[in-house]
């Protein structure tokens, strides 16, 4: 289902056999042929963007989950670590 208002038009010509196949497929998916074609174009040419976005979202969720597992460090411990690092 398209959420955005459609305001651009193009014309594509199909032979009768191919059009019949598109109609059958569109009816099976309960959508129009136009929506079927738009979805196919979106999946073919823009699927990489969705995959990248999903990968970024998963990475962000992993960072948030990792953050939950980290115990807070006290000021004293930070001072000890700084002094320990100064030895070298």
Q: Which ranges of 3-74 would DSSP assign to H, the alpha helix?
A: 16-28, 33-69
What is the phi/psi pair of residue 15, to 5°? -75, 165
Residue 22 and residue 14 in contact, taking contact as beta carbons nearer than 8 Å: yes
Tell me the per-residue pLDDT of 27-85, one tens digit each, with 9 for 90 and over. Answer: 999 999 999 999 999 888 877 777 777 888 899 888 888 888 888 889 999 999 998 98
Which whole-number Å values give the CA distances from 49 to 9, 25, 41, 55, 59, in the listed order? Answer: 24, 26, 13, 10, 15
Tokens in use for 57? 């979202």
pLDDT of 2 strictly over 60: no
């Amino acid at each position: 289902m398209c959420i955005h208002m459609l305001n651009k038009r193009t014309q594509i010509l199909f032979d009768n056999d191919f059009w019949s196949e598109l109609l059958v497929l569109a009816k099976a998916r309960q959508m129009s042929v136009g929506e079927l074609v738009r979805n196919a174009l979106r999946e073919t040419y823009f699927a990489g963007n969705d995959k990248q976005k999903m990968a970024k979202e998963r990475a962000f969720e992993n960072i948030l989950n990792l953050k939950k597992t980290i115990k807070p460090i006290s000021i004293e411990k930070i001072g000890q670590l700084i002094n320990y690092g100064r030895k070298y």
